[in-house]
């Protein structure tokens, strides 16, 4: 089956939906999304979206905070775009129907770690859910946007899967849409598009402990890599310091760790060891409000030194009414698990949370393949550098989705070539689905290896060991992929393995500790000029 459209958007989080909204003003858009349309990392975002709103605040302050967090690797011009476009995009979200929390008729601004000012626009502690709600409600009223759920993009259509074009040099490649799997009928559909926008979100599921929902299997990073697009800075994985600890350990693939938002520390939360002792003063003068990597490493160190499984976050000194007013969702979720956060300390551990690297893009979200744009978490714009400042990711998604839409308008206007002869999907596999155990076991293995050896603290030995193990799983997976009739789990395993490979490869290239990448063998940060972005490109797609 073949569908043709002007623009194909893959993913229905904030980046995909906002891009679709903007593009619908001048072209037809199909959005494919692998589960329900609101299932996304966006839907779980609690804290909010950073922007300069307070008259006491300034663009310069937000820029400086972002650069400081990024540990010398942010692209200053791109950070300037992020920050200066921010207030207009917040207004767009409000116009679309997002109801942010207000105080005395003005946007209520929260403060989070690493920010020198209160600038987090939020909808209580369910900001992402409210943004998704508003965007979906708006898009439901727009005729030339079609959202197709339960449809999983398998691979991008580029020269790499068209036999007679396979030898086209990498710097002259195009993207003409994607092969997608209809997860109801299990048919593969060819969607031919003049422009494709990759907005597939993150890759937290590559790790055993993650705050990301099950959709975050890194599909976009893997699809782009397989088609020869440039990918950058994959070693910079942000571990959120405070996800709710669960006594029975191993999170299942479909069951992310519940996040205790940064805003709880901003609100005055204190981290304590199990015996009740405060410990952040030992690590950083900003204490609980130090950037996430510092807090996560401090917790990791306390756990390793003391041989304990969690630390506590304490907000029992705050007023109960205020706690419930600010954090209704966190209050209720914890209460369901028997923890009254107004009286009890909250047991927390770090968990994989955000990918700062991704598909390398320019200031208009253009990738290295013509006709392929990437925005949101799957992209690497250069705003986060080696570490992301809290609440800058929703902002990045919306700012660069908007800029992509602006550029796509020009791209379509000048579009003169016709589609090549795109072959049908070749699914030769015969193995049936009852071999699922082979796949679920490999997924578990990858997640454990990545957690143990490529987590918060790394070393050459750990990375070498992880690389060997992942290589074996890669070979087994490719073999299984060729023999198996495709279905969701084999596709996701393949993508998780590809992401693990990229993270390890980038981590091995960075022979220093910087931002989120900390290695025992090179504990110091090198001078800025030595290692810039770690760019990967699959040279033989
Ligand atoms: C618990 C949590 C809290 C957070 N809190 C904040 C916060 O307060 N502030 C902030 O700025 N950031 C926060 N973040 C990060 C932020 O939510 C994400 O970075 C952002 O939402 C990413 O948006 P996105 O549109 O790029 O991707 P997502 O919102 O993840 O959307 C990706 C979409 O792509 C679809 N998809 C994926 N693969 C495929 C495929 N192969 N085929 C078809 N569809 C596919 C998914 O189903 C989904 O619809 C948080 C993240 C988490 C997990």
Find out whether the beta carbon of 207 lies less than 6 Å from any atom of ligand 1: no
Residues 92 and 200 in one domain: yes
- pLDDT, greater one: 191 or 486: 191
| Chain segment 105-140, per-residue pLDDT in tens | 999 999 888 899 999 999 988 999 999 999 999 999
How much is the pLDDT for 237? 97
Write the CATH number for 487: 1.20.58.100
- φ/ψ of 272, rounded to 5, equals -135, 150
* pTM score: 0.94
Find out whether the beta carbon of 354 lies less than 6 Å from any atom of ligand 1: yes
How much is the pLDDT for 5? 96
10 Å CB burial of residue 519 (0-12, 13-18, 19+) is: buried
Residues 189 and 285 in one domain: no
73-88 mean pLDDT = 97
Give, as one character, the DSSP assignment of residue 178.
E
How much is the pLDDT for 529? 60
Q: Is the pLDDT of residue 275 over 50?
A: yes
Tell me which of 93-107, 237-251, 504-518 is least confident.
237-251
**Interacting residues of 225 by C-beta distance below 8 A, sequence separation 6+:** 231, 498, 502, 536, 538
Radius of gyration of the chain (CA): 22
Residues 229 and 251 in one domain: no
176 assigned to some structural domain: yes
Q: Is the pLDDT of residue 254 over 80?
A: no
Residues 17 and 144 in one domain: yes
Find out whether the beta carbon of 101 lies less than 6 Å from any atom of ligand 1: no
Query: Mutate which of 30, 40, 383, 387 to test ligand 1's pocket (most atoms within 8 Å of Cβ)?
Result: 40
Ligand 1 atom at minimum distance from 47 CA: 8
21 assigned to some structural domain: yes
Residues 329 and 375 in one domain: no
Residue located nearest, by CA, to atom 41 of ligand 1: 153
| Chain segment 416-475, per-residue pLDDT in tens | 878 888 888 877 666 666 678 889 999 999 999 998 899 999 999 999 999 999 999 999
Which residue range forms the structural domain that includes residue 437?
Answer: 433-536
Q: Which of 327, 350, 373 is the last residue of a domain?
A: 350
Residues 284 and 384 in one domain: no
541 assigned to some structural domain: no
CA 217–ligand 1 middle distance (angstroms): 11
**Interacting residues of 140 by C-beta distance below 8 A, sequence separation 6+:** none
CB 170 within 8 A of CB 227: no
Residues 380 and 334 in one domain: no
Give, as one character, the DSSP assignment of residue 508.
H
Tell me which of 385-399, 462-476, 478-492 is least confident.
478-492
400 assigned to some structural domain: yes
Find out whether the beta carbon of 40 lies less than 6 Å from any atom of ligand 1: yes
Ligand 1 atom at minimum distance from 212 CA: 53
Residue located nearest, by CA, to atom 44 of ligand 1: 33
Find out whether the beta carbon of 51 lies less than 6 Å from any atom of ligand 1: no
Q: Which of 326, 350, 374 is the last residue of a domain?
A: 350
Residues 451 and 361 in one domain: no
How much is the pLDDT for 177? 97
Find out whether the beta carbon of 12 lies less than 6 Å from any atom of ligand 1: yes
Find out whether the beta carbon of 233 lies less than 6 Å from any atom of ligand 1: no
CA 48–ligand 1 middle distance (angstroms): 13
Q: Residue 258 and residue 166: Cα distance in Å, rounded?
A: 44
Ligand 1 atom at minimum distance from 378 CA: 26
CA 424–ligand 1 middle distance (angstroms): 31
- Give percent of the chain with pLDDT exceeding 90: 79
Residues 144 and 256 in one domain: no
509-525 mean pLDDT = 94
* Average pLDDT in the chain: 93
Q: Residue 38 and residue 16: Cα distance in Å, rounded?
A: 11
151 assigned to some structural domain: yes
- pLDDT, greater one: 266 or 76: 76
Find out whether the beta carbon of 113 lies less than 6 Å from any atom of ligand 1: no
| Chain segment 355-375, per-residue pLDDT in tens | 999 999 999 999 999 999 999
How much is the pLDDT for 250? 45
421 assigned to some structural domain: no
Find out whether the beta carbon of 381 lies less than 6 Å from any atom of ligand 1: no
Ligand 1 atom at minimum distance from 491 CA: 41
Write the CATH number for 129: 3.50.50.60
Number of domains observed in the structure of the chain = 3
- pLDDT, greater one: 355 or 526: 355
Active site members: 292
H helices of 284-365, in order, are: 292-306, 320-326, 328-336
Residues 165 and 179 in one domain: yes
172 assigned to some structural domain: yes
423 assigned to some structural domain: no
- Would strands 358-360 and 379-380 be described as parallel, antiparallel, or unpaired? parallel
CA 224–ligand 1 middle distance (angstroms): 17
How much is the pLDDT for 11? 98
140-156 mean pLDDT = 97
| Chain segment 299-346, per-residue pLDDT in tens | 988 988 898 889 999 999 999 999 999 899 999 999 999 999 999 999
**Interacting residues of 315 by C-beta distance below 8 A, sequence separation 6+:** 264, 267, 268, 269, 270, 323, 341, 342, 346
- Give percent of the chain with pLDDT exceeding 70: 96
| Chain segment 224-233, per-residue pLDDT in tens | 999 999 999 9
How much is the pLDDT for 434? 61
Q: Residue 541 and residue 345: Cα distance in Å, rounded?
A: 51
Ligand 1 atom at minimum distance from 180 CA: 42
CA 293–ligand 1 middle distance (angstroms): 20
Q: Is the pLDDT of residue 2 over 80?
A: yes
CB 218 within 8 A of CB 34: no
CA 501–ligand 1 middle distance (angstroms): 21
Say how many CA atoms lie within 13 Å of 493 toward its Cβ: 27
Q: Residue 285 and residue 421: Cα distance in Å, rounded?
A: 61
H helices of 377-456, in order, are: 392-413, 436-453
Write the CATH number for 253: 3.90.700.10
Residues 89 and 165 in one domain: yes
Find out whether the beta carbon of 114 lies less than 6 Å from any atom of ligand 1: no
How much is the pLDDT for 148? 97
CA 11–ligand 1 middle distance (angstroms): 9
Q: Residue 206 and residue 443: Cα distance in Å, rounded?
A: 8
Residues 215 and 263 in one domain: no
How much is the pLDDT for 376? 98
Q: Residue 37 and residue 34: Cα distance in Å, rounded?
A: 8
CA 202–ligand 1 middle distance (angstroms): 6
How much is the pLDDT for 428? 63
């Amino acid at each position: 089956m073949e569908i043709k459209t002007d623009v194909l958007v893959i993913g229905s989080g904030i980046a995909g939906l906002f891009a679709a909204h903007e593009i619908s003003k001048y072209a037809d858009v199909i959005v494919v999304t692998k589960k329900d349309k609101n299932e996304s990392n966006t839907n779980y975002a609690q804290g909010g979206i950073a922007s300069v709103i307070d008259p006491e605040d300034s663009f310069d302050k937000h820029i400086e905070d972002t650069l400081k967090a990024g540990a010398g690797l942010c692209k200053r011009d791109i950070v300037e775009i992020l920050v200066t476009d921010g207030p207009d995009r917040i207004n767009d979200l409000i116009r679309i129907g997002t109801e942010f929390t207000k105080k005395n008729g003005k946007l209520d601004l929260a403060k989070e770690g690493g920010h020198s000012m209160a600038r987090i626009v939020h909808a209580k502690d369910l900001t992402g859910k409210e943004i998704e709600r508003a965007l979906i409600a708006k898009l439901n009223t727009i005729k030339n946007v079609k959202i197709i759920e339960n449809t999983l993009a398998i691979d991008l259509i580029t020269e790499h899967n068209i036999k007679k074009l396979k030898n086209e040099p990498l710097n002259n490649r195009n993207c003409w849409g994607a092969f997608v799997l209809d997860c109801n009928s299990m048919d593969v559909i060819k969607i031919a598009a003049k422009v494709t926008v990759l907005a597939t979100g993150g890759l937290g599921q590559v790790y055993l402990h993650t705050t990301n929902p099950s959709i975050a299997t890194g599909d976009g990073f893997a699809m782009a890599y397989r088609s020869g697009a440039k990918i950058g800075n994959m070693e910079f994985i942000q571990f959120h310091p405070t996800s709710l600890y669960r006594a029975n350990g191993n999170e299942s693939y479909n069951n992310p760790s519940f996040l205790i938002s940064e805003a709880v520390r901003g609100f005055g939360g204190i981290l304590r060891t199990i015996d009740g002792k405060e410990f952040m003063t030992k690590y950083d003068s900003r204490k609980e409000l130090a950037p996430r990597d510092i807090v996560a490493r401090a917790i990791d160190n306390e756990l390793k030194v003391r041989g304990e499984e969690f630390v506590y976050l304490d907000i029992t000194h705050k007023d109960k009414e205020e706690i419930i007013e600010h954090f209704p969702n966190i209050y209720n979720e914890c209460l369901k698990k028997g923890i009254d956060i107004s009286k009890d300390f909250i047991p927390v551990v770090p968990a994989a949370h955000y990918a700062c690297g991704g598909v390398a893009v320019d200031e208009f979200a253009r990738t290295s393949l013509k006709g392929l744009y990437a925005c949101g978490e799957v992209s690497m714009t250069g705003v986060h550098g080696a570490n992301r400042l809290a609440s800058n990711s929703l902002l990045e998604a919306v700012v660069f989705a908007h800029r992509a839409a602006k550029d796509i308008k020009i791209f379509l206007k000048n579009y003169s070539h016709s589609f090549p002869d795109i072959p049908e999907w070749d699914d030769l596999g015969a193995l049936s689905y009852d071999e699922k155990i082979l796949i679920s076991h490999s997924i578990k293995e990858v997640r454990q290896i990545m957690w143990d050896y490529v987590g918060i603290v790394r070393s050459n030995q750990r990375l070498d060991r992880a690389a060997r193990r992942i290589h074996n799983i890669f070979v087994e997976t490719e073999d299984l992929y060729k023999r198996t009739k495709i279905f969701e789990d084999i596709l996701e395993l393949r993508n998780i393995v590809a992401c693990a490979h990229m993270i390890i490869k980038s981590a091995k290239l960075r022979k220093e500790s910087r931002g989120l990448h900390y290695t025992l063998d090179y504990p110091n940060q090198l001078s800025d000029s030595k290692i810039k972005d770690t760019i990967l490109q699959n040279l033989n797609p």
